[in-house]
Chains A and B, each alone.
Chain A
C-alpha cells in the first residue's frame, strides 16, 4: 500500500479518527494519507494535518489537483 485517499465524512468512523488510529497499525502507520473531502473549513484542514494527514484536497476537484498532492508523496 503506497498511499491512502480518505474522506472525512464516512460511516462508522470519520476520516480524522481513521488517520489518528492508523498510527497504531503496524503495517500501515507509515502510509501517507491524503484527505479528499467536501469539508472545506480551515479548522478541518489544520486538524487533519496536525493529526498526520499529508495532504488535503477539497471536493470538487480536478485531476491536476489530485496529481499535485499525490505524485510527490508517491515519488518521495
Chain B
C-alpha cells in the first residue's frame, strides 16, 4: 500500500484532501478490484446508474460517493468477488457499497488522528441517474470534487464524487 505522510485534518487544504482521496481510491481499486485507476479527460458522470454513498461525521464531515454505470458496477462485483460476469450483476449493490466503504475508510485513515474522531456510515446504494444531490450543511464551504477514471479497456468507467467535505465547525 502506498505510504503517504500522516496529515493532520486541521491543516488540510482541499488540494491535500484531493490528493489523499486520489491515493486512497487508487489503493482500493488496485488491491480489491485489480485495476489501475487513471484520470479521465472529462469531469462529468451523467451516465451513472449506480451511486454508493458513505457519510463521514466528526472531525471530517461529508459524503463520499462512487458513481458508475450498471455494467461497471457488475464488472467491479465480478472482479472483487471473482465471479463470472453473468452472475455478478446481483452482487453489484454490495460490491459498490463495499468499495465506497473502503475508499472512505482508507481516506480517513490517512489523516493523522482522524480515524478516532471521524465515523463512517453504513454504505447506501442508489440506482438510477435521475436525482439531485444536495447538502444542507451550508455552514461549511462545499467542496465538490469530480473525477472520472476508465477502469478497464472495455469501455468501463467509474466516477468518484466527494461533496462538501469540510472541517467540522467545532472540535473540542
Contacts and interface: CB of A to CB of B under 8 A. Distances in A.
Do they bind each other?
Answer: yes
A74 B104 CA distance: 31
A38 B100 CA distance: 11
Contacts of A61: 31-32
Nearest to B27: A60
Q: Which secondary structure characterizes the binding site on chain A?
A: loop
A53 to B, nearest CB: 17
B101 interface: yes
Contacts of A40: 105, 109, 115
A38 B105 contact: yes
B102 A59 contact: yes
B102 A60 contact: yes
A26 B46 CA distance: 52
A28 interface: no
Contacts of A60: 1, 27-28, 31-32, 102, 106
A62 interface: yes
B125 to A, nearest CB: 13
Contacts of B120: 9, 38-39
Interface string A36-76: 01111101100000000000001111100000000000000
A59 to B, nearest CB: 5
B81 interface: no
Q: Which 9 A-B pairs have the closest CB atoms?
A: A38-B105, A41-B115, A40-B109, A60-B31, A59-B102, A41-B116, A60-B28, A60-B32, A60-B102
7 contacts: A37-B105, A40-B115, A41-B115, A43-B116, A59-B106, A60-B31, A60-B106
